[in-house]
């Protein structure tokens, strides 16, 4: 992530800066409580989780709740924690599958320790997430999350069995929807349904989450074009990002992928056009929300991933 992107991102999240701080305290307290269990894997998990990413999932949840003028409770922090635990579990498992060396600037668990321990660490986080989820009384929310986990696995399986294949655009979108967007959907729909007597705008929230999640994945694909190590890793694993798919569709006889050729091809412009289409859809999905600074932050986040 570029420094300019990082600065813009932090500025957009200013309206929920305090909420994220409270959530991080809640997160830390949860990890401290787990540390008391004297489970050997907990310090390793704690070290991994302390190396936080952008935390865009809880940020989106809090922005949406504020935009809808919802009152906060600890249940929302619990839901955000479920999201983060599942997200980090999938990252650990992705790193094993991809044989990745680094995650957020640090050695991955499969490199720092070994793949066996990394598998157990990912499974441990998923178990913790499910236990927390079961303590949430709303059955609909629980089902949304369980369905999301199932579809994330479906996306991973699709990716594995389609390695080194040039996916159609529809197949790429479906994979991205399952691998990436479903957890956005679970978090935002769950937050909307929690302590809510009506679900009249649930479909718009769902579509916003899915469209934003797909745009988020396409943006990551664009970002990785400038990360030669990551791009080469994906190509070596046969996991073709959207710019690579577009490039291969235009050069079907080219068996040897050249990073510079991809960067200078029309594939980049096509990818930029598509991410803009999905962010525009996401912005339209929340048009029912009255204008306020939190809704504007959601719109700014969409535009940041479209233009950043």
pLDDT at 1: 52
Which is more confident, 209 or 2? 209
User: For residues 162 and 159, what is the distance between their CA atoms, to the nearest angstrom?
Assistant: 5
pLDDT at 233: 83
The two beta strands, 106-107 and 102-103, are antiparallel
- Tell me which residue range forms the domain holding 129: 3-307
**164 contact partners, CB below 8 Å, separation of at least 6:** 238, 240
User: For residues 176 and 231, what is the distance between their CA atoms, to the nearest angstrom?
Assistant: 17
pLDDT of 85 higher than 70: yes
Indicate the SS3 state at residue 54.
coil
Structure tokens at 283: 């912005």
Mean pLDDT of the region 204-219: 98
Mean pLDDT of the region 71-83: 94
Q: What is the DSSP string of 23-48?
A: HHHHHHHHHHHHHTT--TTHHHHHHH
Distances (CA, A) of 96 to 141, 217, 271: 29, 20, 28
Contact between residue 104 and residue 204 where contact means Cβ atoms under 8 Å apart: no
Burial of 77 (0-12, 13-18, 19+ CB in 10 A): buried
User: CA angle 154-159-162, nearest 5°?
Assistant: 120
Nearest alpha carbon to residue 156 among 89, 250, 249, 243: 89
- pLDDT band for position 254 (50/70/90)? low
Mean pLDDT of the region 199-219: 96
pLDDT at 104: 87
pLDDT of 126 higher than 70: yes
- Average pLDDT of the chain is 93
pLDDT of 182 higher than 90: yes
Domain count within the chain: 1
Radius of gyration of the chain from Cα atoms?
A: 19
Q: Alpha helix (H) ranges present in the chain?
A: 3-12, 17-35, 42-50, 56-67, 74-98, 109-112, 115-134, 139-161, 169-176, 182-193, 202-225, 228-237, 242-250, 259-263, 266-285, 293-307
List the CATH number of the domain containing 221. Answer: 1.10.600.10
């Amino acid at each position: 992530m570029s420094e300019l992107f990082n600065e813009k991102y932090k500025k957009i999240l200013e309206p929920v800066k305090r909420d994220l701080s409270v959530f991080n305290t809640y997160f830390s307290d949860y990890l401290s409580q787990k540390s008391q269990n004297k489970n050997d894997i907990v310090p390793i998990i704690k070290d991994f989780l302390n190396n936080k990413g952008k935390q865009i999932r809880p940020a989106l949840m809090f922005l949406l709740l504020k935009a809808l003028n919802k009152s906060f409770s600890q249940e929302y922090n619990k839901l955000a924690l479920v999201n983060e635990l599942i997200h980090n579990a999938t990252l650990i498992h992705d790193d094993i599958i991809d044989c990745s060396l680094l995650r957020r600037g640090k050695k991955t668990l499969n490199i720092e320790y070994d793949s066996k321990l990394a598998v157990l660490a990912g499974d441990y986080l998923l178990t913790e997430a499910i236990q927390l989820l079961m303590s949430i009384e709303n059955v609909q929310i629980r089902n949304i999350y369980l369905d999301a986990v199932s579809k994330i696995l479906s996306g991973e399986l699709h990716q594995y069995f389609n390695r080194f294949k040039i996916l159609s655009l529809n197949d790429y979108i479906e994979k991205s929807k399952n691998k990436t967007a479903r957890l956005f959907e679970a978090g935002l729909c769950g937050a909307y349904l929690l302590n809510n007597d009506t679900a009249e705008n649930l479909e718009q929230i769902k579509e916003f989450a899915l469209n934003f999640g797909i745009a988020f994945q396409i943006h990551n694909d664009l970002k990785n074009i400038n990360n030669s190590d990551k791009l080469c890793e994906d190509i070596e694993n046969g996991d073709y990002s959207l710019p690579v798919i577009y490039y291969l569709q235009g050069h079907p006889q080219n068996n040897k992928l050249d990073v510079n050729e991809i960067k200078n091809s029309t594939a980049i412009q096509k990818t930029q056009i598509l991410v803009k289409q999905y962010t525009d859809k996401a912005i339209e999905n929340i048009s029912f929300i009255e204008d306020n600074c939190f809704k504007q932050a959601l719109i700014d986040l969409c535009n940041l991933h479209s233009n950043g």
